[in-house]
């Protein structure tokens, strides 16, 4: 297979690129950014000390606190005159992070996204409906840049506005949808509700920005009549959407190892996990100018997938993002990740993919209510809530109340869904 944007690199070439990129990044960061200079000096690191990629482990971590400290232009390693753009994170976990970009950063980012479209098997004849937020968030600008660079036709509808979305789908016959997972679900429900499946021409969907379940994906694919769909990860700190993409073999996400390095660490010991184990993703950029990242702790939980992919592409893979380490909540002394509850809910075919966790405190005792939805046109089986409660009790060792709602009762989102509502005062 001849690719236009995806590099075909041997392992040696990748290591070479990574080593040179790492040395460049350390040199560039310590020269241009006082915050990094101080950090690296305190850790006793000189660019000349980097002899092999193993030396990465001696570098200090960068965290979200470092990004907050330098607000509004944290970790800036170039002069302001070289900055051509800023974006901010979606702000779901606290104050927005502001990230700056140089012209080169924008060019690298658009190549990353063009690679995504290429990996998803699109051609320049595809029409790409971009149904995400434009503006400070990276999603709209990123998909748009990448789509145009790739050469397909961008249909920049933006988020929300369901009537317009459906009109563009049916009239302009978009063939690929780019959105958050929640927005893809919402559009799928709308297409279903309005009986439009035969009037639209969607073949593919590329969605991400938040985790989705297999059930959610199946519903989206069926309701939109898709040939295929692809999970796309990304974060503002690392350019934005498009840090990698699932290939058509669907066995993990290929990421751009010539642009950044991924390490997986145990968030408690900060040491690398065993090969293939789940931990926190830590990223180091190799050519990012405005805000280089040195061992940036993303808080995202995933694992590296060993071995070669069935698709034949010689690019490393990580698994889907299972969630964030800061999504974990403590309920009656037990640490719980939403993904643990999701795995249980996945076993009940009568339920839709939507859920919401509500935490309250009553006379000093924490209470958890798990709200779930029954699938459309499905009768609620007797004892369903009891069966779910029992599964949670036996698998996670906590008692919670399960409330079954009818289809469509839980709030839908144009962007990222908020699934944990914590009313407890700490």
Q: Which positions lie near ligand DLL, rule CB under 6 A?
A: 89-90, 132, 138-139, 208-211, 231-236, 240-241, 298, 300, 321, 324
Q: Could you tell me if 341 and 406 are in contact, meaning their C-beta atoms sit under 8 angstroms apart?
A: no
Nearest to 106 by CA among 114, 96, 94, 117: 114
Rounded Cα gap, residues 38 and 34, in angstroms: 6
> Minimum distance between the CB of residue 205 and ligand DLL, rounded to whole angstroms?
12
The residue (of 139 and 216) whose beta carbon lies closer to ligand DLL is 139
- Cβ distance 299 to 324 under 8 Å? yes
Buried-state track 242-257, b at ≥16 Cβ within 10 A, e below 16: bbbbbbeeeebbbbbb
Calpha distance 116→199 (Å, rounded): 27
Nearer to ligand DLL, 45 or 100 (CB): 100
Instruction: Name the minimum Å distance from CB 170 to ligand DLL.
Output: 24
Least distance in Å: CB of 37 to ligand DLL?
26
- Tell me how crowded residue 347 is: count the other CB atoms within 10 A of its CB: 11
CB 241, min distance to ligand DLL, A: 4
Residue nearest to ligand DLL (CB): 208
Q: Which is nearer to ligand DLL, 18 or 138 (CB)?
A: 138
Give, in degrees to the nearest 5, the angle at Cα 158 between 189 and 193. 15
The minimum distance between CB 71 and ligand DLL, in angstroms, equals: 15
Which DSSP letter does residue 62 get?
A: B
Cα→Cα distances 238→57, 97, 179, 283, Å: 20, 12, 18, 8
Three-state SS for 221? helix
Question: Looking at beta carbons only, is 166 or 245 nearer to ligand DLL?
Answer: 245
Q: Which is nearer to ligand DLL, 6 or 132 (CB)?
A: 132
Which is closer to ligand DLL, CB of 206 or CB of 294?
A: 206
Q: Report the nearest approach of ligand DLL to the CB of residue 138 (Å).
A: 5
Q: Is 365 exposed, middle or buried (0-12, 13-18, 19+ CB in 10 A)?
A: exposed
Minimum distance, C-beta of residue 56 to ligand DLL, in the bound complex (Å):
21
């Amino acid at each position: 297979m001849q690719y236009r944007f995806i590099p075909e690199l041997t392992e040696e070439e990748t290591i070479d690129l990574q080593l040179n990129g790492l040395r460049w990044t350390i040199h560039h960061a310590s020269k241009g950014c006082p915050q990094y200079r101080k950090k690296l000096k305190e850790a006793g690191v000189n660019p000349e000390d980097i002899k092999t990629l193993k030396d990465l482990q001696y570098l200090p971590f960068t965290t979200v606190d470092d990004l907050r400290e330098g607000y509004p232009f944290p970790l800036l390693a170039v002069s302001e005159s070289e900055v051509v753009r800023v974006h901010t994170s979606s702000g779901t976990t606290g104050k927005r992070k502001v990230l700056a970009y140089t012209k080169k950063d924008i060019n690298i980012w658009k190549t990353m996204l063009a690679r995504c479209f290429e990996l998803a098997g699109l051609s320049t004849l595809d029409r790409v409906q971009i149904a995400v937020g434009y503006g400070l968030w990276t999603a709209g600008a990123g998909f748009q840049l990448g789509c145009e660079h790739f050469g397909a036709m961008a249909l920049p509808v933006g988020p929300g506005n369901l009537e317009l979305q459906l009109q563009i789908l049916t009239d302009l016959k978009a063939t690929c949808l780019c959105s958050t997972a929640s927005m893809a679900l919402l559009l799928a429900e709308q297409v279903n509700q309005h009986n439009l499946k035969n009037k639209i021409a969607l073949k593919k969907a590329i969605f991400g920005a938040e985790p989705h379940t297999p059930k959610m994906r199946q519903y989206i694919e069926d309701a939109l009549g898709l040939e295929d769909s692809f999970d796309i990860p990304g974060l503002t700190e690392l350019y934005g959407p498009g840090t990698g993409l699932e290939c058509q073999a669907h066995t993990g996400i290929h990421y751009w190892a010539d642009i950044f390095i991924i390490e997986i660490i145990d968030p408690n010991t900060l040491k690398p996990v065993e090969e293939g184990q789940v931990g926190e993703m830590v990223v180091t950029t190799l050519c990012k100018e405005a805000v280089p990242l040195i061992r940036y702790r993303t808080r995202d939980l995933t694992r590296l997938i060993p071995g070669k992919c069935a698709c034949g592409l010689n690019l490393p893979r990580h698994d889907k993002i299972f969630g964030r380490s800061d999504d974990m909540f403590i309920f009656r002394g037990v640490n719980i990740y939403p993904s643990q509850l999701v795995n249980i809910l996945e076993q009940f075919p009568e339920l839709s993919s939507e859920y919401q966790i509500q935490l309250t405190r009553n006379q000093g005792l924490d209470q958890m209510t798990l709200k779930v939805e029954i699938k459309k046109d499905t009768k609620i089986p007797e004892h369903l809530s009891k069966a779910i409660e029992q599964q949670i009790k036996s698998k996670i060792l906590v008692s919670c109340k399960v409330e079954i709602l009818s289809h469509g009762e839980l709030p839908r989102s144009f962007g990222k869904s908020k699934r944990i509502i914590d009313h407890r005062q700490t």
